[in-house]
Amino acid sequence: MEQGRQSITIDEELAGQRVDRALSEALGEFSRAEIQRLIASGEVRIDGHGVRPATRLSAGDVVTLPLSAGGISDDGLVAAPGLELDVIHADEALLVINKAPGRVVHPAAGHADDTLVNALVARYPELASTFDGPRPGIVHRLDRDTSGVIVVARTEAAAEFLISAFADRLVEKVYLALARGRVTPPAGVIDAPIARDPKRRQRMAAVPDGRPSRTTYRVIDTSGEVSWLELRPESGRTHQIRVHLKAIGHPVLGDPTYGRASRRIGRTALHAWRITFDHPLTGERVTFTAPLPDDMRIALAGLGLSGEPEGGMLTA
């Protein structure tokens, strides 16, 4: 890596997007104008070659740009040992973390030292030396308000393996969510293409010319006022579950972007509950589960709804 530059490996959520939009999403909306200027000046490169704003990205592409972009300084990553870090599993190839709600995954504009990555490099400093840029080992993402299970690679080989697995849809993810209203039918598939909202570019929307997107769901319990759902995204679009639930008229409870605030919970009531994938070293199919955080348990109890679902994964 050239001195003064950072690299970003494109994951499934960014694949297929224009490079200017993808980098603004990865590094924070405040940096989009700077990214467009960097593209025009030739400072943004894929495999050493310059790009145009409309260049489409593929999973596994390595994009490089100056360290100063997106609010990341030449000083590198800040280790933050005081931040909470709930490690579900650790081995020589990967880490599995239960991300707290409200925690940004990686440094971006306005979040230089309070992210999951800052906590990771404090406990596992080798991540900063193994990977370049502000996203060491990050192979997929969760929204700031979304709690739950996230996988982090500890080696470049593991990162490459996992990024490919996500891109090829070989990773099964199950989420739990509270959604407004009584969702009917009690089980089904939401099949609605997703793209940038043409009216509000900072968010996504279900639009006819978007990228194909499917989410399987099952109603675990309902109070009438709110439904408790188990969901499996079959594709990996940005904000997919939140957009799909809005599209069927049942936005996630407490979602300020696609719904509205709730007195029941102070954030978007979405939890990444379970993830299953082939281990990059052994090839064994492994599953990890993140228990519900206290705020969701309190919300469930207040609504008289059951807790974590019993049994196995959803089937399509």
Dig out the tokens for 261 from the structure: 């605030």
Residue 169 backbone class (left: φ over 0; alpha: ψ -120 to 50; beta: rest): left
Residue 285 reports pLDDT greater than 50: yes
Q: What is the DSSP secondary structure assignment for residue 31, as one 8-state letter?
A: G
Strand partners, 50: 45
Q: What is the pLDDT of residue 226?
A: 97
Mean pLDDT of 116-137: 91
Q: How far apart are CA 45 and CA 51, in angstroms?
A: 6
Q: How far apart are CA 152 and CA 93, in angstroms?
A: 9
Coil, helix or strand at residue 277 = strand
Q: Residue 222's closest CA among 268, 177, 255?
A: 177
Cα 10 → chain centroid: 12
Please list the helix, strand and coil fractions of the chain in percent, rounded to the nearest 5, in that order: 20, 30, 50
143 classed as catalytic: yes
Mean pLDDT of 261-271: 97
Higher model confidence: residue 66 or residue 160? 160
Cβ–Cβ under 8 Å, residues 274 and 288: yes
Catalytic residue among 132, 143, 197, 295: 143
Mean pLDDT of 143-170: 94
Q: Is the pTM of this model over 0.85?
A: no
Residue 29 pLDDT level (bands cut at 50, 70, 90)? very low
Q: What is the pLDDT of residue 75?
A: 45
Relative orientation angle of helices 19-27 and 32-41, to the nearest 10 degrees: 140
Q: What is the pLDDT of residue 54?
A: 85
Digit-coded pLDDT (tens) for 161-213: 999 899 889 999 999 999 999 999 999 999 999 988 888 877 899 999 999 99
> To which H or E segment does residue 220 belong?
strand 214-222
Q: How far apart are CA 141 and CA 230, in angstroms?
A: 19
Q: How far apart are CA 113 and CA 205, in angstroms?
A: 31
